[in-house]
Amino acid sequence: MTIPNSWTDDLLVVGRGICNYTCDSARRRKTMTKKPNTPTKVDTGALKHNPFAGLASKQGAVGACLARPSDAKPKPLPRINLSFSHETAGRSGKVVTRIRGLPLENLEAIAGRLRKAIGCGATVEGDDLLLLGMLGERAEQWLKGAGDLRKIVLEQPLPTLPKAVPGVVCPPASGTASQVSPTNRSDVRLGQRVAIVMKADQTSGALTEGIVRDLLTNSATHPRGIKVRLESGEIGRVKIVFG
């Protein structure tokens, strides 16, 4: 049986269409069953573990190590061993007490304190302290009661007051002196502020300031000043009359 050419062409078209349909179906199924793309992990350099996790177990030991310096007791200072001896050789027959073993850093301060406490001469000779006289027992008794000899320091000298010059009187700073003469009784009145020199201060010339309560000089004048009694009770001769 002979197939016409027109049928052959139709069969080719139908077969090509079936093939295309089959290929498209297979492609769609493959696309539907394909796994979704997963994002790629990027290494950011972050640590994957806790570097301080191991310190938790050692926290107590570290705290104990840090607390040791404050809890530790200070080392005791070395003990001071003193020795006392009396010497007369080369001293023209005078007895000298030699003390050995005193701390060298403040030997002069200890000598000054002993000199004042015992009332004797004290001098430093090398590493020793010399006392003029047989004073071993008294010196030992004082040193035992002085506590830590390393802490003895030199006493600060008291400020010296300026010496009074005879005939020169310095008025106090609390008032202004007037031109009234302190030697005339008529110029010194009750209730007036004056500066006097008491009998105990005649050598130094020290002035005492106050208010006049009584006039004790009966004569009209006195070359050393009118004697008065202040409201505070002091008695002396007027040197300055304040205006």
**CATH superfamily membership of 83-151:** SUI1-like domain (3.30.780.10)
CATH 3.30.70 matches 185-241: no
The tens digit of pLDDT for each residue in 81-128 reads 888 898 888 777 788 899 998 888 888 888 888 888 887 788 888 889
pLDDT in tens, 11-64: 665 566 665 656 566 666 665 555 555 556 655 656 666 666 666 565 555 555
> Start-end ranges of CATH 3.30.780.10 in the chain?
83-151
pLDDT at 215: 92
Q: At 130, phi and psi to the nearest 5? A: -110, 135
What is the location of CATH 2.30.30 in the chain? 185-241
Residue 216 has pLDDT above 80, yes or no: yes
Q: How many CB atoms lie within 10 A of CB 230?
A: 19
Question: Per-residue confidence at 228, pLDDT binned at 50, 70, 90?
Answer: very high
pLDDT in tens, 175-186: 555 567 888 898
Q: Which residues, listed in sequence order, are joined to residue 85 by a DSSP beta bridge?
A: 98
Helix H or strand E encompassing 35 = none
| Contact assessment for residue 241 and residue 180, using Cβ atoms and an 8 Å cutoff | yes
